[in-house]
Structure 1
């Protein structure tokens, strides 16, 4: 009798699901566990460094950023400053970040007193989470975002999508409308039956979360995917601007020769920003241009902002003080806000701390599917193994 088409499709899907799972099990578990560790990074780091995040306010005005950087460098050589985080709160310390050194390593940032540039300390936990982040995104492969690790994690995400879709089809129950069939594991079973129940039912619980994680995680792995999302969700003029090709190395060197060799500072851009924004901002991150140029990027968070990604972004010329561009979060379309919030969607932060907790638990459950999937595969192979024929039957007396 010929096999039914539906049975053949499920047989093929089972093979695809099993092979993808066996190849990617350990890699997906590693990526998921490192993501779970970073779920409450901000809260953990703030708790560990509560003693250096704030200062006693004074009657005197806070130092301008260039003066603060100059005093900081006069004490000892911490490295080249690349960014400063300033706040409208008079009790908040200034966070100073440094550029990478010749070996490509970035020194720890420092918290500094905004009134006299006194070093309050380096944030505890920063180096640990930086390493976990590199492991999560790039598997600690040299080159970071420019190395092969970025593509490998992207391929793992694509593989997970294949497993999610095939797994959903494979476990589609006959009683589709039965909530119990979909969501209740049978803990009374043992061995292979228990492994299958846990793998299938808990997999159904976390399937929507994993889909969100993978679809947003691909944004950080593949430029073609990122460009496609920008084209789909942005206005045409915004999409065209974001997909402009980057400056080549040759053009960058030509630009460097044309630019003034005089180093640029933060003060003029900071003054322009304060004049434009007034007291509407809570904190602002001023970043020097990584490539030759004079435009300082300023990311600004409003006082009512609850997410790291709901921010405004300005580019202000450090020489003339002119605003080159102003990208306000409130002016974005719904699709552009999705793009802006990609990281917070990826980690569930758009749903508040319950969302972050749910995404953390889902990520921490990934090893369960790796273990139960491997056990199911081994038990299937054991069941398919043909029984050994008897060597012969002994007859009494022979």
Structure 2
């Protein structure tokens, strides 16, 4: 009786595994391959643009960021500057990013000489990787993070979790303690047997990596998932702050005599940040507020930082230079550090370059499971099809 029940459960799981695989194979392959392409984006872009990211250090002090922006606009108006990346390294160029124009496009970013604001060039590969990244996260569906592409990739991630769990149960060997049964493919087989061993054994190799990818990828797809993780891992007041709904900005009251809004700059915030951090940072990204506020967000990374997660974040009032908030990585709890490292965990960077390489290879293998899974499904259909007697053996009436 127990054996029959187990057989029925496996039959249902096989159907679920097959249906989910057939429905999501192409989508998962696309998401995985684009993820593999951007695995070493930073290293590739740095290599391609080594000639414009460094300058010859000089004895004269570097220009303040507002002066850099002013000189850039005086030479050629590329658009509204939205962010600048400054460095404590006197040989590092300044990276300037621009906001979107009226048509929704964004001009290519630029590297500037920090001593005279001379344009060094636009980084090669930036547009390519930006497109691949949008394809990976949102499938190029309009709206980007605000569109419904993020929900589609989230559903695909949930489907992959279903396939991973059902696939593990289906391939559970009778000798579960045998490492050879779990991890050694039988490459001497052919046809259906070869497809099965590739699908099952190599799937076991990457199962844990795929599970990590999906569980961290869901963070970017569903707010309920993100809020739940924050509630589970953050301190209560931090989790409550993260779950507060974003209130729409109130329309400003119209005064009797309206005065044009005074543009804000980077200098006050940059001075405050330097006073707070001294020479402990390697680079800092200063981003102007997208709305009507005056608080500039500053993200900074230490000199020994190798991960995106190990950053400090500050909010500084651009008008007064007052430090509004400081969120230092060293002050986070273990759970909050896990939350900060979601992106690094998702791409394997938390394990250094070997981890990134392992995650890249695992992602690149996704089409293998799509192809072998489809071949296994088709072969099962052929085996189940009742054999037809040869036409020559048919008699009238049959």
Q: TM-score interval w.r.t. the shorter chain?
A: over 0.9
What is the aligned partner in structure 2 of residue 176 from structure 1? 176
What is the aligned partner in structure 2 of residue 282 from structure 1? 282
What is the aligned partner in structure 1 of residue 186 from structure 2? 186
1:259 and 1:293 in contact (8 A); partners too: no
Which whole-Å deviations, capped at 9, do the CAs of 1:36-67 have from their partners, x for residues lacking one? 00010000000000100100011110000000
The Cα shift of 1:2 comes to 10
* SS of alignment partner, residue 84 of structure 2: strand
What is the aligned partner in structure 1 of residue 148 from structure 2? 148
1:24 and 1:159 in contact (8 A); partners too: yes
The Cα shift of 1:104 comes to 1.5
Whole-angstrom distance in 2 between the partners of 1:114 and 1:393: 89
The Cα shift of 1:368 comes to 0.1
The Cα shift of 1:106 comes to 1.5
Whole-angstrom distance in 2 between the partners of 1:23 and 1:380: 17
Which whole-Å deviations, capped at 9, do the CAs of 1:115-149 have from their partners, x for residues lacking one? 00000000000000000000000001111111111
The Cα shift of 1:9 comes to 0.4
The Cα shift of 1:208 comes to 0.3
Unaligned segments of structure 1, at least 5 residues: none
The Cα shift of 1:255 comes to 8.2
Whole-angstrom distance in 2 between the partners of 1:180 and 1:335: 36
* SS of alignment partner, residue 353 of structure 1: helix
Which whole-Å deviations, capped at 9, do the CAs of 1:93-114 have from their partners, x for residues lacking one? 0000000111222211000000
Q: How does 1:237-316 map to 2 (within 5 A)?
A: 237-248=237-248, 251-254=249-252, 261-316=261-316
The reply to whether residue 366 of structure 1 matches residue 366 of structure 2 is yes
The Cα shift of 1:392 comes to 6.4
Whole-angstrom distance in 2 between the partners of 1:89 and 1:2: 69
What is the aligned partner in structure 1 of residue 50 from structure 2? 50
Whole-angstrom distance in 2 between the partners of 1:226 and 1:106: 28
| Distance change >3 Å, CA 259–CA 301, structure 1 → 2 | farther
TM-score by length of 1: 0.96
Whole-angstrom distance in 1 between the partners of 2:76 and 2:390: 83
Whole-angstrom distance in 2 between the partners of 1:137 and 1:216: 13
The Cα shift of 1:216 comes to 0.2
* SS of alignment partner, residue 326 of structure 1: strand
The Cα shift of 1:214 comes to 0.2
What is the aligned partner in structure 2 of residue 138 from structure 1? 138
The Cα shift of 1:390 comes to 4.8
The Cα shift of 1:394 comes to 7.7
CA RMSD of the aligned region, Å?
Answer: 1.7
Unaligned segments of structure 2, at least 5 residues: none
Whole-angstrom distance in 2 between the partners of 1:394 and 1:5: 41
What is the aligned partner in structure 2 of residue 228 from structure 1? 228
* SS of alignment partner, residue 63 of structure 1: coil
Q: How does 1:346-361 map to 2 (within 5 A)?
A: 346-361=346-361
How many corresponding residue pairs?
393
